[in-house]
Chain A
Amino acid sequence: MGEDAESPKINHTFLRDYVTEADVISTVEFNQTGDLLATGDKGGRVVIFQRETELKGESEETGEVGDSGEYNVYSTFQSHEPDFDYLKSLEIEEKINKIRWLPQQNAAHFLLSTNDKTVKLWKVSERDKRPEGYNLKDEEGRIKDVSTITSLRVPVLKPTDLMVEVRPRRVFANGHTYHINSISVNSDGETYLSADDLRINMWHLDITDRSFNIVDIKPANMEDLTEVITAAEFHPHHCHLFVYSSSKGTLRLCDMRASALCDKHTKLFEEPEDPGSRSFFSEIISSVSDVKFSHSGRYLLTRDYLTAKVWDLNMDKGPVETYQVHEYLRSKLCSLYENDCIFDKFECVWNSSDSVIMTGAYNSFFRMFDRETGRGVTLEAWRENSKPRAVLRTRRVYTGGKRRRGDVGVDSLDFTKKILHMAWHPAENIIAIAATNNLYIFQDRVNPDAQTQ
């Protein structure tokens, strides 16, 4: 992704933002094995990284066998193009909102990518052999003169340079009036859901001209609209369950067996409002920007503006854990409302064993919380402050008390550097952090494998 040759003396920030707007990463996702990492950007491109599996020199010496952990570009393709809605006279952005990988069934990989309106299924396949020795064609592919053929032979496959082919296999269009914010592949391997601001549709992966509407919260009169859908996800194991979050901070678990249209939730998860901290911004900061099932399927992780919350599916009265991501911003809400930062949508992720959760913040900071101890750590994804393979040091935002060296004051935070998108390897402690147009991949060398609880 965009390599910036940035002189430390000259601040190219404004230039970078202007020039490489299309390179801003808008989604990051590992596949189910973690060997592939896909990123989507504002320019509608998808870049797939593959993990190196070659033994490196040092690994051989120590006798280790395994992945080196390096991810290199595997394939790049243009997923979506800018479009225009002629009926409404509005542009449709090509920005990739979400990428989700399908479980692998054969040698090829499949992923779903979506912009605001259209979901596409892409097939990523490798070709590293080609047939040679045709009878009727020569090496260049020209048809041979039949009279010159004296004997028959069987064509053989010969190795060739690796070629990665990406082809669109399905285009799921015209399913959404509003902007798609989520897609989620079902555990049944056949269906997936796509959610926009007011509706959720379920699609079959093989059928593109029809989708099934399972949630519709559009009021009869749009003037009565007070709540929108912000995220949705299928349960990792139960193919009939899915959850969606709203701008009012509620989560709704829906069972598709109950009725065809799941407007009526099976369970409503809502935290009662704390009357002591009510302000005009209470609703805005309670809006859930991301929701993720734990790998176990037992818990839900949600992110609102100031906190990350873990919910137990068995308890709908409130979250079981609440983590303060950047509570120091609470007194700044008015300014953040003014500059629209209060509407930033941060994502959140689980680690593979569901023992750690992670989410982003401002100033290129991201936060990890250990659920066991409840403690959080702040890390930074900013190239100027770290070299490749250097150990990430923890950062701190100064909020009072003894000020340590390296602490950052709240007023010095750069709100243009926001960590919105991230992903955690499904099995190991490798994380991918998108920081504007840069992708950072961090690996835990001390505990490379996730500890099972």
Chain B
Amino acid sequence: MFPKGTKRKFSDSGEDPVCSGVQGPSASSAAARTLSSSYSLQRQSLLDMSLIKLQLCHMLVEPNLCRSVLIANTVRQIQEEMTQDGTWQIMTQALAAAQCPADRLVATEVLCRQTDAAAQAGQSPKPFSVSDLEEGYHSEEVVMDGDVETEVTMSSLSPVSPQLSSASYLAGPFGVAPCWEEEEEEGDCEEDEEEDSEECVSEGEEGEQDHLRADSRTGEQVFGTFEIKHPAPPPDPALEELFSDVDPSYYDLDTVLTGMQSTPKMGPYDLLESLSSHGPTALSSTSSCRSDLNELDHIMEIIVGS
């Protein structure tokens, strides 16, 4: 519910370019002009919000189909626009370059940022922090320098440097410099990855900054987007566990839209509160997150058309 006289949320401050009727980039102008950073930011946050909303539909009562359809259409619209801008291709190329669980990664990243927000109540204003290493699921990191995947990625990125600035704002509107600090929090099973990621941060950041003309935040933000990491060479028991009990019905957009699933998810208002407030509140269930990202992954696959 929208409380009376509430403070303007972050999304409000950046909402004007998107919401007050700024011309969406037409096909002709997309190439010509550089995407305004706040517009991309806003668009990305809208995309994230929409994906969250689709996930939160699964309550005990059948979700409102009209609402789900409208949100899904919004997601498609954003995706189409991002495809026109080329930002979507960058994201999917990065995903394609990574190893198999990578196709889950956009979903992971998107959803986990919210989870992160909630779980790290102590961290100040990074509701969309990039790290998603907690809760035992893998993320693959795009290593921007000196790596096979990196080269693939960089080769696609470098000739289109003007677009990099937009790519950098692809998914991490709120990620700022100290985002990697949070990795230290998730001790449990991800120590290898943490170290990798920390190393890679420095490498990557440097690599990024070579290419970016925008402000220094963009480096982290690109990482925020493509936080894909190499899985440890032996099959990770956490990963196995993660995918072991996947229900195939989650992959069906139909089920998402019509709410066939009855798995209780976290309360809708918990996440919305964490989205809207600067002080993230703690989220409860992690298992629902895992199943969520499978669903989300499938939605993204459909939208991407892969």
A contacts, CB < 8 Å to B: 85, 88-93, 116, 178-179, 197-198, 222-223, 225-228, 230, 247, 275-281, 283-284, 287, 330-341, 343, 411-416
Besides A280-B78, A281-B19, 17 other A-B contacts (C-beta < 8 A): A88-B62, A89-B262, A91-B61, A91-B62, A92-B62, A279-B20, A330-B21, A331-B19, A333-B15, A334-B12, A334-B18, A338-B11, A338-B276, A343-B67, A411-B5, A411-B6, A416-B1
List of A residues within 8 angstroms of B262 by Cβ:
88-90
Could you tell me if B73 and A226 are in contact, using CB atoms closer than 8 angstroms?
yes
Chain B residues 246 to 268 lying within 8 A of chain A, measured CB to CB, are 253-254, 257-260, 262
Kindly supply a per-residue 1/0 record for chain B positions 58-94, scoring 1 wherever the CB is within 8 Å of any chain A CB and 0 otherwise.
0011101111011011101110000000000000000
Q: For A90, what are the chain B residues with a Cβ–Cβ distance below 8 Å?
A: 60-62, 259, 262
Chain B interface residues (CB < 8 Å from chain A): 1-2, 4-6, 9, 11-12, 15-16, 18-24, 42-43, 46, 49, 53, 60-62, 64-67, 69-70, 72-74, 76-78, 253-254, 257-260, 262, 272, 275-276, 302
By a CB distance below 8 angstroms, the chain B residues around A247 are: 66, 69-70
Tell whether A334 pairs with B64 under 8 Å between CB atoms, given A222-B258, A227-B69.
no
Our pick among B5, B15, B22 for the contact of A334 (Cβ within 8 Å) is B15
Do A416 and B24 have beta carbons less than 8 Å apart?
A: no
Q: Tell me, in angstroms, the Cα distance from A281 to B258 when the chains sit together.
A: 22
A283 touching B19 by the CB < 8 A rule? no
Bound Cα distance A415, B260 (Å): 30
Residues of A within 8 A of B302 (CB): 223
Residue of B whose beta carbon sits closest to that of A221: B254
B18: which of A179, A223, A280, A343 is its contact (CB, 8 Å)?
A280
Contacts known (A227-B69, A415-B1); A93 close to B20, Cβ less than 8 A: no
Q: Which residues of A contact B60 (CB under 8 A)?
A: 90-91
Residues of B within 8 A of A340 (CB): 53, 67
Tell whether, in the assembled complex, residue B74 and residue A280 are in contact, meaning their CB atoms are under 8 Å apart. yes
- Contacts A91-B61, A280-B77 given; indicate if A228 touches B69 (C-beta within 8 A): yes
Q: Is the CB of A334 within 8 A of B61?
A: no
B-side contacts of A343, CB under 8 Å: 64, 66-67, 70
What are some 23 contacts across the A-B interface (CB < 8 A)?
A88-B62, A88-B260, A91-B61, A91-B62, A92-B61, A178-B65, A223-B254, A223-B302, A228-B65, A247-B69, A275-B23, A276-B23, A279-B20, A279-B24, A283-B73, A283-B74, A330-B21, A331-B15, A332-B19, A334-B12, A336-B2, A339-B2, A341-B2
- Shortest distance from the beta carbon of B274 to any chain A beta carbon, whole Å: 12
User: A283 and B21 in contact (CB under 8 A), knowing A331-B16, A338-B49?
Assistant: no
- Does B259 contact A278, Cβ atoms closer than 8 Å? no
The answer for the CA separation of A85 and B62 in the assembled complex, in Å, is 10
Q: Which residue of A has the minimal Cβ distance to B69?
A: A228
**Nearest residue in A to B259 (C-beta to C-beta)?**
A90
Q: Is the CB of B64 within 8 A of A280?
A: no
Contacting residues, chain B, for A284 (C-beta < 8 A): 70, 73-74
Q: With both chains docked as a complex, state the minimum distance between the C-beta of A74 and any C-beta of chain B, in angstroms.
A: 31
Interface centre among B49, B53, B65 (most CB of A within 10 A): B65
CB atoms of A278 and B24 under 8 A apart = yes
A93 to B46, CA, bound (A): 30
When chains A and B are docked, how far (Å) is the Cα of A335 from the Cα of B62?
A: 25
The complex places the Cα of A171 from the Cα of B42 at a distance, in Å, of 49
In the bound assembly, the distance between CA atoms of A278 and B21 in angstroms comes to 5
Give 9 closest A-B pairs by Cβ, nearest first: A415-B2, A222-B254, A89-B262, A334-B15, A277-B21, A197-B65, A223-B253, A416-B1, A90-B62
B272 surroundings in chain A (CB, below 8 A): 338-339
How many angstroms between the C-alpha atoms of A278 and B42 in the bound complex?
15
